[in-house]
Structure 1
Amino acid sequence: MAITVPLAERWPVLAAEPNVLAWLGIRSALGIAPRTLDAYCRGLAEYLSFCAAGSADPLTAGRDHVARYVRELTQRPPQRAGAGRDPSSGANLRLANATIQQRLTVVRLFYDHLIEEGLRDNNPVGRGRYAPSARMGGNRRGLVPHEVRLPWIPDEGDWRKILNVARIEPIRNRMMLALAYDAGLRREELCCLRTDDIDPGHRLLRIRAETTKGRRERVVPYSAVSGELLRAYLGHRAGISIARGPLFLSESRRNHADPLTPWTWSKVVRRIAVAAGVPRFGTHTLRHLCLTDLAHAGWELHAIATFAGHRNPATTLQYIHLSGRELASKLAHGMAQLHDWRVAMLATAEPAGHA
């Protein structure tokens, strides 16, 4: 199995379990995204290590064992200072609720596989279910309640701080910041853009299905201001490579003209955020800000969901709630100017150097 070699190197505990390798091999063959596969491997490695520490067989583990695993995840001591998030942000250094949910989901899916293969009769990781009456059990929650937190959105002061730092960035970085906000792009969607995904005549971007979280292709517009930045960047890019292909290229000596990776882009944004004194600003903040501004402008829920590529409109409702929808009629008239203002400084700045 092709997946065995890298697993043996990164997670030896997985390589020792044939059933785990079989399941991961199936998921890989079905075209699971590399980052999702990595998350599966990481989550299963943690669970199998917990089983090994308690001398438990993961293939026959029961609900009591899973309950102890849940307790270990939820009561894990805080990480040491500097090992996790920035303590100054006020974030809890324990495992985030979303991380715990991800860990349990991976274990649940693995046990589903064992049931399908006839190796188990039940799944020890329960699912939250709803029953219409108390006699039937009422509303049954999952092993760990889901916490739904509203996304953090920078205020105008924070945004100005970011722009003051970003305006001296190279043209590539300013272009990426502008498009990430303008088109509400996720990090992978932005970094995976290709030159043939752009329709400059109509100022449209094609977001290919294989680059999206939900595997759903969409076409989104970008502003005239971003169009000017794009024209300038394409001229700059021609000096790096004239070949068609990935839109954003690395300009470092080691990886010159290679496609810019999402991890490199995260480092760029992190550097800008730290320099601006806005540590909570990240690659996904630009998407949150864009969708919130659209809600402020009075866009309907379905239109925002389509623009964002949300499969479930409930995800989009977070931005509607955050927007103060009752103010939409007052703000709608000024949104065109506000939308352009957010990226105008990026278009007029002179680059100071390369990242």
Structure 2
Amino acid sequence: MTLQTRFPTLFEQPHAGEWLTEQESLRTPNTVSAYGYALVDYFRFCAVHAINPISAKRAQVVAYVRDLSERSKSAAPAMPGKRLGFVRSTTHEGFANATVRLRIATVRLYYKYLKGEEVRATNPVEEGVYGWGKRYRKARRGWVARQEKEFWLPNTREWQSILDAASSEPIRNRFMLALAYDAGLRRAELCALQIRDIDPSSKLIKLRPETTKTGVAREVPYSDVTAELFATYLEYRQRFGQPLGPLFLSESRRNPGQPITIWSWSKTVQALGKRVGLPMLTTHTLRHLRLTDLARANWELPIISAFAGHRSVATTMRYIHLSGRELNERYRQTLNSILDQRQETMRISLL
């Protein structure tokens, strides 16, 4: 499906379609989609408030940011005339911090493009607001401060309850759950897998650059248990009569045999979590748990970072969540090691 088919109203807006098309050659498909939905929302806001996007002022963009922080998505005002896009309903007020930052970043890039094309002289969404930081140097901060979520990870008992509930799921879901955890995959990476991406002989998954968040290819291993599930699933999958192509296919009445979507997989995992009384369970929980387990197994941070496909070790650190007990144990081990060294040095020197 082309961008113009997915976002027809964007191509009716001045220079928006050209900008989004340009992004298609620079960004991953998921990023381009996120940009498209974000710009749809911005133009919708402009239409409701009689703002001409091309000549929008800084104060009007600030109003949009405020609207994102306060708006109830389920009660968003309808755009007069024609509909610019689909807004998912929810019950809470305001958008998540990450969503607000993504949308303002999209608007910034759009205006940067307009400035580069000499459509307008300035970008109303400059890179950041400057203030004095440590050691009296100028520090830059964005329009919207980053807020880190408090991540939840299942403990041993909760993880076992998840596995027990998953044991009654269809083979496709069981295999997807195991593979998502084993390889620490993002949901988009998991759903985009092709049969040819998996090498059973070496138990490796090849993640193509167009399917990863960073646009960089990588290979990750999977376990013997997942290998057995893979073999069982391939046998089951033959009923669809598609020996090649997407690995995971929809079994719904509406889209039988079509590639499974990230939304379908998210709903499957959320339903599983609710069934065992753990509504906090999401597709990303599996990835966080895997990376944390690798840290518990004493993998080096750079290796975990490469496994996860992160651009930097700093990103990996935000994914690893060791409990206070585990941190205390690491501390004691380090302390004991140092004390042992001191004792040995004194024994050699003083005895």
Q: What TM-score do the two structures reach when normalised by structure 2? A: 0.80
How far apart are 1:3 and its partner, in Å?
4.1
- Corresponding residue for residue 273 of structure 1: 273
Separation of aligned partners in 2, 1:191 and 1:49: 30
- Corresponding residue for residue 17 of structure 2: 21
**Residue 30 of structure 2 is aligned to residue 35 of structure 1:** yes
CA deviations over 1:123-166 (Å, ceiling 9, x no partner): 11122377887898732321111112243212223222212211
- Corresponding residue for residue 346 of structure 2: none
Distance 1:153 1:113, change over 3 A: same
| Paired residue secondary structure (1:59) | helix
More displaced stretch, 247-256 vs 36-45: 247-256
Q: Does the CA-based 8 Å contact 2:184-2:290 persist in structure 1? A: yes
Separation of aligned partners in 2, 1:182 and 1:259: 21
How far apart are 1:212 and its partner, in Å?
0.9
- Corresponding residue for residue 45 of structure 2: 50
* AA partner of residue 216 (structure 1): V
- Corresponding residue for residue 338 of structure 2: none
Separation of aligned partners in 1, 2:117 and 2:252: 49
Separation of aligned partners in 2, 1:241 and 1:258: 12
Counterparts of residues 334-353 of structure 1 (less than 5 Å): none
Distance 1:240 1:56, change over 3 A: closer
How far apart are 1:7 and its partner, in Å?
2.8
- Corresponding residue for residue 249 of structure 1: 249
| Paired residue secondary structure (2:283) | coil
The structure with more radius of gyration: 2
CA deviations over 1:86-142 (Å, ceiling 9, x no partner): xxxxxx642111010011011000011011101222211122377887898732321
CA deviations over 1:154-187 (Å, ceiling 9, x no partner): 2223222212211101111111100100110111
* AA partner of residue 311 (structure 1): R
Q: Does the CA-based 8 Å contact 1:298-1:328 persist in structure 2? A: no
| Paired residue secondary structure (1:270) | helix
Q: Does the CA-based 8 Å contact 1:180-1:186 persist in structure 2? A: yes
More displaced stretch, 281-290 vs 57-66: 57-66
- Corresponding residue for residue 340 of structure 1: none
CA deviations over 1:231-251 (Å, ceiling 9, x no partner): 222222234336123222233
Separation of aligned partners in 1, 2:17 and 2:203: 45
Separation of aligned partners in 2, 1:293 and 1:171: 25
Relative CO higher for 1 or 2, CA cutoff 8 Å, sep ≥ 6? 1
How far apart are 1:292 and its partner, in Å?
0.9
Separation of aligned partners in 1, 2:63 and 2:207: 43
Distance 1:212 1:76, change over 3 A: same
Counterparts of residues 1-355 of structure 1 (less than 5 Å): 3-8=3-8, 12=9, 14-28=10-24, 30=25, 32-77=27-72, 83-84=89-90, 93-128=93-128, 138-241=138-241, 243-320=243-320, 322=322, 324-325=326-327, 327=329
| Paired residue secondary structure (2:220) | strand
* AA partner of residue 31 (structure 2): T
* AA partner of residue 195 (structure 2): T
Separation of aligned partners in 2, 1:242 and 1:17: 40
Q: Does the CA-based 8 Å contact 1:296-1:327 persist in structure 2? A: no
Separation of aligned partners in 2, 1:52 and 1:292: 45
Separation of aligned partners in 2, 1:59 and 1:18: 8
Separation of aligned partners in 2, 1:234 and 1:156: 30
Q: Does the CA-based 8 Å contact 2:14-2:54 persist in structure 1? A: no
- Corresponding residue for residue 85 of structure 2: none
Separation of aligned partners in 1, 2:254 and 2:55: 49
Distance 1:186 1:78, change over 3 A: closer
How far apart are 1:309 and its partner, in Å?
0.5
Q: Which runs of 5+ in 1 are unaligned?
A: 86-91, 332-355
Separation of aligned partners in 2, 1:143 and 1:62: 15
Distance 1:119 1:136, change over 3 A: farther
Separation of aligned partners in 2, 1:326 and 1:134: 31
- Corresponding residue for residue 340 of structure 2: none
CA deviations over 1:28-56 (Å, ceiling 9, x no partner): 3x164443333222222222232233333
Q: Does the CA-based 8 Å contact 2:266-2:282 persist in structure 1? A: yes
Separation of aligned partners in 2, 1:225 and 1:115: 54
* AA partner of residue 58 (structure 2): R
Separation of aligned partners in 1, 2:46 and 2:204: 51
C-alpha RMSD of matched pairs (Å):
2.9
Separation of aligned partners in 2, 1:254 and 1:83: 22
Separation of aligned partners in 1, 2:167 and 2:284: 19
